[in-house]
Amino acid sequence: MQSARTVTFAGAASFGHTLAPLRRGPRDPCFQLPGDGTIWRTSLLPSGPVAARISRAAPNAAHCEAWGGGAEEFLETVPALLGVDDDASDFVPREPTVAAAHRRVPHLRLGRTGRVLEALVPAVIEQRVPGADAFRSWRVLVTKYGTPAPGPAPAGMRVPPSADVWRTIPSWEFHRANVDPGRAQTVVSCARRASSLERLVSWPAEQARAALQSMPGVGAWTAAETAQRAFGDADAVSVGDYHIPKMIGWTLLGRPVDDVVMLELLEPMRPHRHRVVRLLEVSGLAYEPRRGARLPVQHIHSL
């Protein structure tokens, strides 16, 4: 099945910036950039798998073609995915650097997938490890346990595993993918509660984040990373991130800060604290010296 839809925005739009947080590394089997200006994304919806190609139709419009049993359902949700209903009308930044970032990218939109488990599982895999290590783990697991992308998707693309599949992956397969037992158990536990987790999309954002944190192994960072993508939560701050507090500190104060100071700096910007982080990143005004220690890569798959 193939379907298509054109989404028109109120003004100029950059759907690439909106969708970028969904990409789990340059070789993500669920998100590919072929180099022709299009974006390919896969997803597993209640109606079935989908592969979608998103391209620019005009400065204020994006065209989406979708293949697979979930194509029609995906197209119904694609405006939200691209941030059409992201409301920043009450966002008036007064901090000079944030205001400058907003002027540079005034049409940045935050999208929402509406798919909780698809955002939660990779966030769990990314806990406490370097990004490159987590991206490899995600790629290994999805390539083995996902299904081939429908339609003319780029070679190697896969549809994410279902909750039923995630909860039955053997512990040794997580080990081979360099995912330690703690994170593996959290993935399995979340998959077992997938039905109730998916219902969180209709909850108020703050309550939904709190519900996520009630899950064993899901803390503030993981809940925020999930809420940003699944709910389009403009206020979800990734507390506990290795880089973001340093980036906020260097950018706004000229020195690194911890989570406590970062939250103090961002407090006047509620309910748009995550939006501020994205604006600084996308505008190019985010600053963090390339020095200091990095999280070490732990190769447990060879043990």
> Which whole number is the average pLDDT over 145-152?
99
Q: What pLDDT, in 10s, does the model give residues 133-144?
A: 999 999 999 999
Name the band, by pLDDT with cuts 50, 70 and 90, for residue 36.
very high
Q: Say yes or no to pLDDT of 295 above 80.
A: no
Q: Say yes or no to pLDDT of 300 above 80.
A: no
Which domains are delineated in the chain? 2-87 (3.30.310.20), 116-230 (1.10.340.30)
pTM of structure: 0.93
pLDDT for 260: 98
Residues 53 and 145: their CA atoms lie apart, in Å, by 22
pLDDT for 291: 56
Residues 149 and 152: their CA atoms lie apart, in Å, by 8
pLDDT for 299: 53
Q: What pLDDT, in 10s, does the model give residues 197-243?
A: 999 999 999 999 999 999 999 999 999 999 999 999 999 999 999 99
